[in-house]
Amino acid sequence: MGAEVLLGLALGALLLAPPFLPPYFLEILISVMLFGYLGAAWNILGGYAGQFSFGHAAYFGIGAYTSTLLFLNLGVTPWLGMLAGGVLAAAFGLFAGYLSFRYGLRGPYFSLVTLAFAEMLRVVAVNTKAVGSSLGLVIPNREPAAVNFIFAGKLPYYYVILAMALAAVWITRRLERSKLGYSLLAIRENEDAAEAAGVDALGMKLRAMALSSFLTALGGTFYAQYFAYIDPTITFGPSVSIQGLLQAIVGGAGTVLGPVVGAFVLTPVSELSRAAIRGRAGVDVMLYGVVLVLVISFLPHGLMGLRRGRGNPPRVPLQ
Amino acid sequence: MYGLVACGLSLIFGVLRIINFAHGAVMMLGMYTTYWLFTLLKVDPYLSIVVTGPAFFVLGMVIQRTVIEPNRVAAEHNQLLLTLGLALFLENLALVLWQGDFRTVRPPYAGASFVLGEALVEVPRLVACGGAIVMALALFAFLRTTDVGKAIRALAEEPEGALLMGIDVGRIRAVAFGIGSGCVAVAGALVTPFFYVAPDVGESFNIMAFVVVVLGGMGNFVGALLGGFIVGLAESLGATLLPGSLKQLVVFALFVLVLLFRPAGLFGGGRGR
Amino acid sequence: MDTRLSLLQLDAVTKRFGGLTAVSRFSLTVGAGEIVGLIGPNGAGKTTVFHLLSGFHAPTEGAIRFKGVSVVGAKPHQICRRGLARTFQIVQPFVNLTTLENVMVGAFNRTDDAAAARERALEVLEFVGLGARRDVPARALTLSDRKRLEMARGLATRPELLLLDEVMAGLNPTEIEAIIGLIRRIHAQGVALLIIEHVMQAIMALSQRIVVLHHGEKIAEGRPDDVARDARVIEAYLGART
């Protein structure tokens, strides 16, 4: 009961406090929400299905570029472009996933392949004039128009990403209690035994992949609209992939709140470290590395694992 | 060149069964060490190998002992993340300490080259290639003839049997990691005369190394060397066919194809799925 | 045996792995509701037969029919859907899930609804005697309980034929007695069973019919007493008299 109250308060704070926060904090909060969102999307495939993708940037980039290109060239509102990007990303995810799963790639091999795919997309983007090559694309400063996903000020962006993050969390929760969720967990634990128990491993993994990639792509569009600039390195580069999985791992892969918790912990750490050691890029990522090593060594189930004593996996609650 | 880097990686995988993401980072550190030795102490890059190699061998062992060994029984993907974390830490440590500007090591012979038939051969590259082959051969001999080398091979092939034979597996694992790290650091040193030094160089070599290792078969050292050759070839081929950095696509495509269809590597002897 | 009634039918099934022939021209029928024991010295190919039946391997030659339909080429989960469930020689629980969740995975075979799956799983857990352990993480279960869990997971899929692979291995006599009882209860529910076992007394007592495999070939088949006295069987287990 205590946990629910806490969650309620947190939610209330997230909804009501931001208009009163100084811009710097709002920015951080937006980052937290974005990373938490990406972590949650990654979590579906990584935490639940146990397939650790190191190349989720591929979908992020597809989302970002699709909506931006549609917007810049055809004037399509990014809200729709977002969906288009999501569908495209899901298609690519299904393609990559089918190839990988059909040929039995598991564990590190799967991770490497996803990395390869993301890198391939990056290289293609860098070399394609139509998408701006390595200079990327800029969304010129147009009139703020909600219908075009352009807002004056940061607050509206915050609420958008908050909504997305909450949706992702809700989706994860629904997933956990569904047949798909149980199937994915079984696959994660022991794919052969799952098959023997009637779980269609290939089908379920593909579903997870489609969902995960779709959601990640939406995040890409948000990024594009918020920062108004994208390039191949930012969108297809390993940094996005790592960010996503980091939140989930640190917070607790395979849990509903893990990615968000992870984001709430990691982002301030990153910000503080950057502030503390000014002028030296990379301190925050360095700390990420340390945190990752520490978490894997001492808290393999992430921060959520603390709820049930160290090192115990968080339980899937049955209601 | 890729071959030597891959050899080390293959060794680590064969013995420790983990895919070491930090490999590229170690190479990068090796390059920086060479750079500083050259800039501050005027030590010739090739000579500095005498220092760099053993130093990183030790560093590798230390890393293995402190970070990787305690987590040996963790899930596979966790170990992968472990090395990833390590890589992130090392790469950005370099970034923080030395910033991101490119640096170069330019010993007097850096630009030396001669013409062989129709091709222009650059001396430093040739030396690097030769050095790689020498090191690989030395590694090969080491594994075949010395006790430690045989212990490593035993551990790679039959972990439980090795344990029963009284081999100190913990130490051997550390040694293997150390050798792998030493190799890659040396590779870094060899490369400095013609490659720029920056915190992110590790990454590009990392990916290539993975490609090579998979191509040659994880755990298959000879395969790694041959794989390196193939990858280099593929990259050059790609360069002639495709503009810009798209040549990497050829390599990646090859990588994906091999992973899908022959995960044991083109030359077998590796561990498949 | 009237083949029209048989649940499972293997016709001259052969499985070769490279140069090694694991199973050679093996024919077998199991009728609905039968208990058939599969015995043979280690390495005889028994588990390979299970892998063939459950879709993890495809036969090099021969036909396998379940309920009249060929299962060759079908994926394990499809075969499970059709009503053939199995356990593994080395138990394979989903260690990070609770006992109940483990069984629910099996129950989801027959329903898409989580609540229904849960109910079915609880039912099965009670049946195998693990009801009290339902919220315990599978990794905390004893070996004996894990074996029951494996059987429960299979039962939850509502199989018509259950393959049991050495479920008694590693159990003490009391536990073995209990498993025998459980198997009898499963049988009473109308489930056919094909059992691989090394605990001779148990399998002789349970089976209606015994099939003996040696070096991948069937060397004897019949009622337990007959098979026990068969010279070739004795020779296979004890080695030929020179």
> What tens digit of pLDDT does each residue of C181-214 get?
999 999 999 999 999 988 888 888 889 999 988 8
pLDDT of residue C201: 85
Q: What is the pLDDT of residue C242?
A: 46
Closest CA to C161 of C194, C183, C202: C194
Give the whole-angstrom CA distance, residue A205 versus residue B208. 28
How wide is the angle at C-alpha B4 spanned by C-alphas B1 and B7, nearest 5°?
145
Calculate how close chain C gets to A209, using CA atoms only, in Å.
20
Q: Say how far apart CA B83 and CA B67 lie, in whole Å.
A: 9
**Which residues lie below 8 Å from residue B20, measured CB to CB, with a gap of 6+?**
B9, B12, B13, B83, B177, B180
Angle between helices A107-126 and A78-102 (to 10 degrees): 140
Cβ contact (<8 Å) for C88 and A196?
yes
Residue in B74, B99, B261 closest to A103 by CB: B261
pLDDT digits (tens, 9 = 90+) for C79-104: 999 999 999 988 889 888 899 999 99
- What residues of A are in contact with residue C80 (Cβ under 8 Å)? 195-198
Q: Find the range with the poorest average confidence among B22-26, B162-166, B222-226.
A: B222-226
How distant, in Å, are the alpha carbons of A199, C45, C48, C107, C218 from that of C18? 30, 15, 14, 37, 21
Q: Structure tokens of C188? A: 């009473």
Please check the confidence at residue C137 and state whether its pLDDT lies above 70: yes
B249:A120 CB<8 A: yes
Q: Which two tokens stand for residue A88?
A: 């495209």
Return left, alpha or beta for A156; rule: phi > 0 is left, psi -120 to 50 is alpha, else beta.
Answer: alpha
Asked if C137 and A313 come within 8 Å (Cβ–Cβ), the reply is yes
pLDDT at A312: 42
Segment B228-244, tens digit of pLDDT: 666 666 666 666 666 66
C-alpha distance from residue B29 to each of A279, B44, B107, B133, B186 (Å):
22, 17, 19, 22, 10
Q: Sign of the CA dihedral A15, A16, A17, A22?
A: positive
With contact defined as beta carbons under 8 Å apart, do C30 and C192 qualify? yes
Mean of per-residue pLDDT scores for chain A: 84
Please name which of B30, B18, B7, B6 lies closest in space to residue B173, comparing C-alpha atoms: B18
State whether A192 and C105 contact (CB < 8 Å): no
CB A158 within 8 A of CB A34: no
Mean pLDDT, residues A92-115 taken together: 85
Q: Is residue A156 pLDDT above 90, yes or no?
A: no
d(CA A303, CA C7): 51
Measured in angstroms, the CA of C232 and the nearest CA of chain A are apart by 34
Mean pLDDT value of segment A278-300: 78
Mean pLDDT of C126-142: 89
A5 — pLDDT class (breaks 50, 70, 90): confident
- Of all residues in chain A, the one with the smallest CA distance to B22 is A289
Q: How far is CA C93 from CA A80, A254, C149, C150, in A?
A: 45, 18, 7, 7
- Report the gap between the CA of B226 and the closest CA in chain A (Å): 21
CA distance C59 to C49: 9
Determine the pLDDT at residue C45: 84
Contact B48, B37 (CB under 8 A): yes
pLDDT band at A24 (very low <50, low <70, confident <90, very high): confident
**Nearest chain A residue to B218, by CA:** A109
3-state percent helix, strand, coil for chain A, nearest multiple of 5: 75, 0, 20
Please check whether residue A269 touches B, CB under 8 A: no
- Please report the residues numbered 10 through 69 in chain A whose beta carbons come closer than 8 angstroms to any beta carbon of chain B: 50, 52, 54
Tell me if chain A has a CB within 8 Å of the CB of C99. no
Q: In percent, how much of chain A has pLDDT > 70?
A: 93
A232: confidence class by pLDDT, cuts 50, 70, 90: confident
Residue, of C157 and B17, whose pLDDT is higher: C157
- Please tell me the least confidently modeled range out of A232-241, B43-52, B172-181, C108-117: B43-52
If one counts every other C-beta atom within 10 angstroms of the C-beta of residue B261, the result is 8
**C119 in contact with A, Cβ within 8 Å:** no
Q: What is the DSSP string of B12-32?
A: HHHHH----TTHHHHHHHHHH
Tell me which residue of A9, A5, A14, A12 sits closest to A264, measured CA to CA: A14
User: Do B and C have ≥3 inter-chain CB pairs under 8 A?
Assistant: no
Flag whether pLDDT at C163 surpasses 90: yes
User: What number is the ipTM of this complex?
Assistant: 0.85
**Paired strand residues for B122:** B113
pLDDT band at B269 (very low <50, low <70, confident <90, very high): very low
Q: Which of A116-120, B83-87, B128-132, C111-115 has the lowest mean pLDDT?
A: B128-132
User: What are B256-262's contacts with CB under 8 Å, separation 24+?
Assistant: B256/A99, B256/A113, B256/A116, B256/A117, B258/B214, B258/B215, B259/A103, B259/A105, B259/A109, B259/A112, B259/A113, B259/A116, B259/B214, B260/A99, B260/A100, B260/A103, B260/A105, B260/A113, B261/A103
The predicted pLDDT at position B86 comes to: 81
Q: Chain A: residue nearest B17 by CA?
A: A108
Interface of A with B in 82-121 (CB under 8 A): 99-100, 103-109, 111-113, 115-117, 119-120
Q: Taking the model in full, what pTM does it have?
A: 0.83
Other C-beta atoms lying within 10 Å of the C-beta of residue B50: 12
Q: Nearest Cβ partner of B84 from A50, A116, A292?
A: A292
* Confidence (pLDDT) at A36: 92
- Residue A126 pLDDT grade (very low, low, confident, very high; cuts 50, 70, 90): confident
Q: Which two tokens stand for residue B262?
A: 């022959």
Decide: C167 and C58 in contact? Cβ < 8 Å.
no
**pLDDT at A216 > cutoff 90:** yes
Q: Which long-range contacts (CB under 8 A, 24 or more apart) does A305-314 make?
A: A305/A252, A312/C137, A313/A254, A313/C96, A313/C137, A314/A252, A314/A254, A314/A255, A314/A258
Question: Does B257 contact chain A (CB < 8 Å)?
Answer: no
Contact between A313 and C86 using a beta-carbon 8 Å cutoff:
no
What local confidence, expressed as pLDDT, does residue A317 receive? 45
Higher-scoring residue by pLDDT: C33, A144:
C33
Bridge-based pairing of strands C61-66 and C69-70 is antiparallel
Q: Tokens 């990794």 identify what position?
A: C139
- Checking if the pLDDT of A319 tops 50, the result is no
Most confident of A114-123, B149-158, C153-162: C153-162
Least confident segment among A87-91, A147-151, A269-273 = A147-151
**Domain residue ranges of chain A, discontinuous segments joined by +:** 22-237
The answer to whether B80 contacts A115, with C-beta atoms less than 8 Å apart, is no
Which run of H or of E encompasses B112? none
Phi, psi of A22 (to 5 degrees): -65, 150
How far is residue C13's CA from residue C24's CA, in Å, rounded to a whole number?
A: 6
pLDDT tens figures, A29-61: 898 999 999 999 999 998 888 888 888 999 999
With an 8 Å CB cutoff and a minimum of 3 pairs, decide whether chains C and A touch.
Answer: yes
Contacts of A112 in chain B (CB under 8 A): 19, 210, 214, 255, 259
Nearest to A109 among B88, B89, B263 (CB): B263
Class of residue B232 by CB neighbours under 10 A (exposed 0-12, middle 13-18, buried 19+): middle
The pLDDT value recorded for residue A102 is 82
